[in-house]
């Protein structure tokens, strides 16, 4: 069966936190996931499940015709299998369906795997934010993809 993308809810908090802590040096706290998991906010979190197991997630933000890929991650034991690309492609398709015209994201300057993933999905560099990240401190690259025909 093809991997399934499903919207996460508050019952998924533990799964999401365990993935988050395995993937990032500066993980989001439970509070930061609260609005995305409880609904009713602009943030939405989707889990990618393969054979019933969560292999990754993507968190997006939609406001009017602008979207943002806030975070994407794949379980360390499941990388280079195409799940990251699947998460980004499905998130973009979902945003397009919802009328989003431009999608933005920020990524650590040194994160070559994520940069390759985003460039492959059609994002281009539009700017930098100095010392944007902590643990460790690092600049962010700002990228954009247009979903207009």
In the complex, the smallest distance separating the C-beta of residue 46 from ligand COA, rounded to whole angstroms, is: 13
What is the spatial distance between Cα 71 and Cα 138, in angstroms, rounded to a whole number? 16
The answer to whether residue 58 forms part of the interface with ligand COA (CB under 6 A) is no
Cα 63 from chain centroid (whole Å): 16
The answer to whether residue 113 forms part of the interface with ligand COA (CB under 6 A) is yes
Q: Which one of 37-45, 65-73, 90-98, 122-130 is the stretch in contact with ligand COA (CB under 6 A)?
A: 65-73
Nearer to ligand COA, 78 or 96 (CB): 78
In the complex, the smallest distance separating the C-beta of residue 69 from ligand COA, rounded to whole angstroms, is: 7
Of the residues 117, 140, 141, 143, which one makes contact with ligand COA according to CB under 6 A:
117
What is the spatial distance between Cα 6 and Cα 112, in angstroms, rounded to a whole number? 27
What is the spatial distance between Cα 84 and Cα 105, in angstroms, rounded to a whole number? 15
How far is the first Cα of the chain from the last one, in angstroms, to the nearest whole number? 31
The answer to whether residue 92 forms part of the interface with ligand COA (CB under 6 A) is no
What is the spatial distance between Cα 55 and Cα 51, in angstroms, rounded to a whole number? 10
Q: Which one of 34-42, 95-103, 116-124, 133-141 is the stretch in contact with ligand COA (CB under 6 A)?
A: 116-124
User: Measured between alpha carbons, how far is residue 116 from residues 9, 120, 134, 148 in Å?
Assistant: 30, 6, 22, 22
Contacts with ligand COA by CB under 6 A lie at: 23, 71-74, 79-85, 107, 111-114, 116-117, 120
């Amino acid at each position: 069966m093809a991997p399934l993308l499903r919207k996460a809810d508050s019952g998924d908090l533990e799964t999401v936190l365990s993935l988050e802590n395995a993937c990032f040096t500066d993980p989001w706290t439970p509070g930061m996931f609260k609005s995305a998991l409880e609904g009713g906010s602009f943030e939405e979190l989707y889990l990618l499940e393969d054979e019933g197991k969560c292999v990754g997630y993507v968190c997006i933000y939609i406001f009017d015709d602008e979207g943002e890929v806030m975070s994407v991650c794949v379980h360390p034991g499941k990388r280079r299998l195409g799940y990251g690309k699947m998460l980004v492609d499905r998130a973009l398709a979902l945003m397009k369906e919802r009328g989003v015209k431009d999608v933005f994201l920020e990524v650590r300057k040194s994160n070559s795997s994520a940069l390759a993933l985003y460039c492959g999905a059609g994002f281009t560099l539009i700017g930098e934010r100095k010392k944007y990240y902590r643990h460790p401190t690092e600049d962010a690259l700002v990228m954009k993809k247009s979903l207009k025909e």
